Amino acid sequence: MVSIATWNINSVRLRIDQVERFLREHEPDVLCLQEIKCAEDKFPHEMFERLGYANRFVHGQKGYHGVATLSRLPATEFSRHDWQDNGEARHVGVELGGAGQGMVLENVYIPAGGDVADREVNPKFGQKLDFLERMTRWAEAIDRPTLIVGDFNIAPLDCDVYDHKALIKVVSHTAIEIETLGAFRDAHGWVDLGRKHIPVPERNWTWWSYRTFWQEKDRGRRLDHMWASPDLGAQSRAHRLVEDTRRWEQPSDHVPLITEFDL
DNA sequence: ATGGTGGGTAGCCCA
Phi, psi of A3 (to 5 degrees): -115, 135
- Chain A residues 122-141 with Cβ under 7 Å of strand B are 124
Q: What is the pLDDT of residues A94-124, one digit of tens each?
A: 999 877 778 999 999 999 999 999 999 999 9
Nearest alpha-carbon partner for A140 in A102, A94, A108, A183: A183
pLDDT at residue A101 in the model: 78
Mean pLDDT of A35-44: 98
Does nucleic acid strand B have an atom less than 7 angstroms from the CB of A169? Answer: no
Does nucleic acid strand B have an atom less than 7 angstroms from the CB of A11? Answer: yes
Pick the CATH number of A2-261 from 3.60.10.10, 3.30.930.10, 3.40.50.2300, 3.30.1330.10: 3.60.10.10
pTM of the model: 0.97
pLDDT at residue A231 in the model: 96
**Length of chain A (residues):** 263
- Tell me which nucleotides of strand B come within 7 A of a protein CB: 1, 4-9, 14-15
- For chain A, the domains span 2-261
Q: What is the pLDDT of residues A154-209, one digit of tens each?
A: 999 999 999 999 999 999 999 999 999 999 999 999 999 999 999 999 999 999 99
Task: Give me Rg for the CA atoms of chain A.
Answer: 17
pLDDT at residue A45 in the model: 98
User: In the predicted model, is pLDDT for residue A240 greater than 90?
Assistant: yes
Contact criterion met (CB below 8 Å) for A114 and A124: yes
> Facing residues of A109 across strands?
A151
Nearest alpha-carbon partner for A48 in A29, A26, A20: A20
Average pLDDT, chain A: 96
A55: confidence class by pLDDT, cuts 50, 70, 90:
very high
- Chain A residues 58-97 with Cβ under 7 Å of strand B are 62-65
Does nucleic acid strand B have an atom less than 7 angstroms from the CB of A27? Answer: no
Which amino acid appears at position A163 of this protein?
D
Give the rounded percent of residues in chain A with a pLDDT score beyond 70: 99
User: In the predicted model, is pLDDT for residue A215 greater than 90?
Assistant: no
